[in-house]
Amino acid sequence: MTGGQAHRRDRRQTDAQSGLTRDRLYGVAEWRGREFTVVDTAGLDLDGAKDSSRSAIEAQTRIAIDQADVIVLLFDVRQGLTPIDRDIAQMLRKSRARVIVAANKADSHGEAHFAHELLELGFDEPSLVSAQHGLGVGELLDRLLEALPPHQEPSGEDDKADRLAIMGRPNVGKSSLLNALLGDERALVSPTPGTTRDPIDTELVFDGVPVVLIDTAGIRRKSSSRDRLERYSLLRGIHAMERADAVLLVLDASAGVLAQDQHVAGYALDAGKGLVIVVNKIDLVEPAERKPAHWRAALARQFKFAPYAPIATVSAKTREGIGTLLPTALEVVGQRRIKMPPNELNRVLREAFLDHPPPSFKGRRLKLGYGTQAAGEAPTVVMFVNDTGLLHFSYRRYLEKKIRDRFGLIGNPIKLVLRSDEGSRNRPRVSPPGAARRPPPQAGR
Ligand code: GDP
């Protein structure tokens, strides 16, 4: 449970992509090269009369607690503890997650401080922070990193497979689509499923390629009766998405696009996952509306933050378009493995800077030292520049487009990470053609 502001500063890359600011629960943050997902909960109020929206919010918080590795229990340092706070602390002590207590708004010395009271909760010393002024946030993030379990590299047979998460609102046809895909004659459901597989995973071999379909509709079927609200399946679905290479976001051609659809696409972007927008139930619309080109235009505004995502039009019922869906999705996963040779990448970046120099900001201009592809699942380019604060949002878009024009990366977001190279004269600059140098060690994620 973290304060919303705390993960948006300085070295962390939480891209505030335009059009995606409403009502976000999840963000992908990076600190000291480690990526983690931050869930901002609405909090708990174990007390009092509950209407249904209140209990929905609380159930969501409980799911977040279940799924968390680390819980940041945040207080306002100017307010003393209440009995409810103590109840919450007691409940969290029983969870498997590590709990870090933090006291926010620790910025004015004049006001009463209750930090000492927080020790009574039985956790370690609280971290004092001011999210507003950025004080103590770095130290809190360091504690958080220490508390996180070690990063697990994917390993084992199962991980050779391309992993696709089928996501979307209830009733858009996720289960029907899964069945339609399994009905394809090129798809062989694996007779020897891996031993560690999740119950919502279906393993298959498609045209010789091992694939795992992660069926988020299955989450709903397997959840208990108190779990029926739509919101919960979204939260769990997003957890499932984290295991995927690409997301198939299913929409219903006969219904509109809702904010939740945009959120799922936004989470996929933030998490660096591939994305295919699947418009299902095209049997219900006019023939003119059954082609991807129609939907490319119709959805352009709602998904303008993810113009790179291919659009597939299908009917799980009539099987129209089903045959091309997995090939499209597998191409998107394949594009994640593209290697951008350093010389070529630097040529593209240099030309982009020359063709259209960055605008100056308060008399200063972004200067490129060196660009390199970082290791990692999602396509990531690290650029060493004079000042990371000088990259304007529209210039970022421009550079991403130039990289995409050269390397494709269809269906995938490009992460453009900036590092400051000011003051370090011996770091590699742009290498002359034919003399590629190794990226400095900081370039990894
Ligand atoms: P889920 O909740 O997203 O898993 O959706 P389901 O697969 O359970 O489908 C919801 C309803 O939509 C069911 O009544 C399906 O029969 C229907 N449905 C699913 N796909 C299609 C389709 O392509 N065309 C039509 N007309 N109905 C569909």
356-410 tens-digit pLDDT: 999 988 889 999 988 999 988 889 999 999 998 899 989 999 999 999 999 999 9
Q: Tokens in use for 364?
A: 């200063």
pLDDT of 16 > 50? The answer is: no
Percent of the chain residues topping a pLDDT of 70 = 75
Superfamily of domain 158-336 in the CATH hierarchy: P-loop containing nucleotide triphosphate hydrolases (3.40.50.300)
Contact 250, 173 (CB under 8 A): yes
pLDDT at 282: 97
pLDDT of 425 > 70? The answer is: no
Measured CA to CA, the distance from residue 248 to residue 255 in angstroms comes to: 17
pTM metric for this prediction: 0.71
Per-residue pLDDT band at 268 (split at 50, 70, 90): very high
Mean of pLDDT values over 51-64 = 67
Measured CA to CA, the distance from residue 129 to residue 135 in angstroms comes to: 5
List beta partners, residue 261: none
Per-residue pLDDT band at 9 (split at 50, 70, 90): very low
pLDDT at 281: 97
- From residue 177, how far is each of 24, 280, 290, 345 by CA, in Å? 27, 8, 16, 39
- Give start-end residues of each CATH 3.40.50.300 domain in the chain: 2-147, 158-336
pLDDT at 45: 61
pLDDT of 207 > 70? The answer is: yes
Mean of pLDDT values over 152-170 = 75
β-pairing, 162-167 vs 34-39, is unpaired
- Strands, E assignment, 238-379: 246-252, 274-280, 311-313, 368-373
Q: Between 342-355 and 393-407, two packed helices, what is the crossing angle to 10 degrees?
A: 130
pLDDT at 431: 36
Nearest Cα neighbor of 366 from 441, 302, 420 is 420
Which residue, judged by its Cα, is nearest atom 2 of ligand 1? 171
Per-residue pLDDT band at 218 (split at 50, 70, 90): low
| Residue reference for tokens 């029907």 | 176
> Which of 169, 171, 219, 264 gets mutated to test ligand 1 (max ligand atoms within 8 A of its CB)?
171
Contact 179, 190 (CB under 8 A): no
Would you tell me which CATH number, out of the four given (3.30.300.20, 3.40.50.150, 3.40.50.300, 3.40.50.620), belongs to the domain 342-420? 3.30.300.20
Separation of CA 171 and ligand 1 centre (Å): 6
Separation of CA 254 and ligand 1 centre (Å): 11
pLDDT at 11: 29
- Give start-end residues of each CATH 3.30.300.20 domain in the chain: 342-420
Contact 132, 108 (CB under 8 A): no
SS3 content of the chain, % helix, strand, coil (to 5): 35, 20, 45
Mean of pLDDT values over 44-69 = 67
Separation of CA 131 and ligand 1 centre (Å): 45
Percent of the chain residues topping a pLDDT of 90 = 42
Contact 409, 335 (CB under 8 A): yes
Separation of CA 280 and ligand 1 centre (Å): 8
Residues in contact with 94: Cβ distance below 8 Å, sequence separation at least 6, in sequence order: none
Judge if the beta carbon of residue 170 lies within 6 A of ligand 1. yes
pLDDT of 230 > 70? The answer is: no
DSSP for 357-404 reads PPPPBTTB---EEEEEEPPSSS-EEEEEES-GGG--HHHHHHHHHHHH
Q: Tokens in use for 303?
A: 């998904």
Q: Kindly report the CATH number that applies to the domain delimited by 2-147.
A: 3.40.50.300
Contact 236, 276 (CB under 8 A): no
79-114 tens-digit pLDDT: 878 888 888 888 888 888 899 999 887 776 655 577
pLDDT at 87: 85
List beta partners, residue 384: 370, 419
Separation of CA 410 and ligand 1 centre (Å): 28
- Sign, CA torsion 107/109/113/119: positive
pLDDT at 179: 92
Which residue, judged by its Cα, is nearest atom 15 of ligand 1? 173
Q: Tokens in use for 257?
A: 């696009």
Which residue, judged by its Cα, is nearest atom 14 of ligand 1? 171
